């Protein structure tokens, strides 16, 4: 009897230890990291941010201001470039973003959390050394962006917002060309023309992924026709980015030239990974997915124009 009781207690202890190990392994991740800001001056903070990136060996790919007192810098380094080629369609993870946002009484600095976004993009690396470098350079204070929702790295590798909504491997197919170079040239051409009211923020040429597909990543600012254009960056952010810290580093959207095809992450996925806890119907601030219901298709159509898709075929693409 003693032996049996001992065995049951031993099994229970082992089970609890295993559960503990699993919980430790499944560390919670959030989309953004709030950094320390030593200045309440927007322009000075933006300049300090550039200097910090350069001092840490990062290359600035581009930057833009989607609206007043918001600045976004996109950056990369060799580790990010290499990691992007080690998984299927990993090009989306070849760059990270840091945003400077001026509020009424402070200036916030926040950057995209490498561990979170690498998981969302199903990369083979969780970019720990990049995370450690950024945390040291920017004196990271806290991760944010999920509210009370608890998400682990493994959760993010198979993330979608809710039933019948898109996953990472359900991108919008925007256009098709005869070669990778032709596709890249066409995106460059249409961006130069301002197609879809889009502007080029950056271009990142990468190698082939694990499927042997050449990848080039573009960052695209969407200005919209006016402030009521559902595709515009200001439309989206004005309706759902209402809490502090701000999610400004959500922008810009990406276009991936993947082989000879041009694609983009569908907006219901791309927006949701920046606001995984955004309610569908109601919130204290009024920020809901319902408030931007027109945006996913509008963003897809705008990016389709940037990609050079034929007008009559856009409504049939996804």
Q: What is the pLDDT of residue 10?
A: 55
Residue range(s) defining the domain that contains residue 256: 32-316
Which pLDDT tens digit goes with each residue over 63-114? Answer: 999 999 999 999 999 999 999 999 999 999 999 999 999 998 899 999 999 9
Flag whether 8 is in a domain: no
The string of pLDDT tens digits covering residues 293-304 is 999 999 999 999
Asked whether residue 19 is assigned to any structural domain, the reply reads no
Phi then psi dihedrals of residue 160, to 5 deg: -150, 155
- For the chain, list the strands marked E by DSSP: 32-35, 59-67, 70-76, 96-102, 107-112, 142-144, 172-176, 198-208, 214-222, 253-258, 261-264
Alpha carbon distance 246, 268 (integer Å): 19
182: domain CATH number is 3.30.310.70
Query: What pLDDT does residue 314 have?
Result: 42
Average pLDDT over residues 50-66: 98
- The verdict on residue 140 lying in a domain is yes
Report the distance separating Cα 277 and Cα 12, nearest Å.
35
For the chain, how many structural domains are there in total? 1
CB-based contacts of 38: which residues, under 8 Å, 6+ apart? 48
**Confidence tier at 20 by pLDDT (50, 70, 90):** very low
As a whole-number percent, the residues of the chain with pLDDT over 70 amount to 89
How far is the C-alpha of 234 from the C-alpha of 226, rounded, in Å? Answer: 10
Q: What is the mean pLDDT of the chain?
A: 91
The residue count for the chain: 318
- What is residue 46's predicted lDDT score, i.e. its pLDDT? 97
Which range (36-45, 52-61, 82-91) has the least confidence?
Answer: 36-45
For residue 266, with 0-12 CB atoms within 10 Å meaning exposed, 13-18 middle and 19 or more buried, which class applies? buried
Q: Identify the CA nearest to 294 among candidates 265, 268, 316.
A: 268
């Amino acid at each position: 009897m003693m032996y049996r009781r001992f065995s049951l207690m031993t099994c229970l202890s082992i089970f609890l230890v295993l559960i503990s190990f699993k919980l430790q392994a499944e560390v919670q991740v959030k989309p953004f990291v709030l950094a320390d800001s030593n200045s309440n001056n927007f322009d000075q903070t933006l300049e300090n941010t550039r200097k910090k990136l350069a001092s840490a060996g990062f290359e600035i790919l581009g930057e833009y201001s989607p609206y007043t007192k918001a600045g976004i810098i996109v950056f990369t380094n060799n580790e990010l470039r290499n990691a992007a080629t080690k998984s299927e369609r990993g090009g989306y993870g070849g760059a990270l973003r840091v945003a400077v946002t001026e509020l009424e009484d402070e200036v916030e600095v926040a950057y995209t959390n490498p561990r979170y976004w690498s998981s969302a993009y199903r990369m083979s690396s969780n970019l720990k050394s990049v995370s450690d470098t950024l945390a040291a350079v920017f004196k990271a204070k806290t991760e944010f962006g999920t509210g009370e929702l608890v998400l682990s790295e493994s959760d993010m590798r198979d993330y979608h917002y809710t039933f019948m909504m898109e996953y990472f491997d359900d991108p919008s197919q925007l256009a098709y060309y005869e070669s990778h170079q032709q596709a890249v040239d066409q995106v460059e051409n249409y961006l130069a023309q301002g197609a879809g009211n889009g502007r080029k923020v950056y271009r990142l040429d990468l190698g082939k992924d694990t499927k042997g597909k050449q990848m080039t990543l573009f960052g695209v600012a969407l200005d919209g026709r006016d402030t009521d254009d559902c595709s515009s960056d200001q439309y989206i952010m004005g309706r759902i980015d209402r809490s502090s810290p701000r999610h400004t580093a959500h922008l810009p959207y990406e276009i991936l030239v993947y082989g000879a095809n041009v694609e983009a992450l569908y907006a219901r996925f791309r927006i949701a990974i920046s606001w995984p806890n955004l309610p569908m119907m109601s919130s204290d601030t009024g920020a809901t997915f319902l408030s931007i219901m027109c945006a996913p298709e509008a963003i897809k159509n705008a990016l389709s124009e940037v990609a050079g898709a034929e007008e009559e075929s856009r409504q049939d693409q996804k």
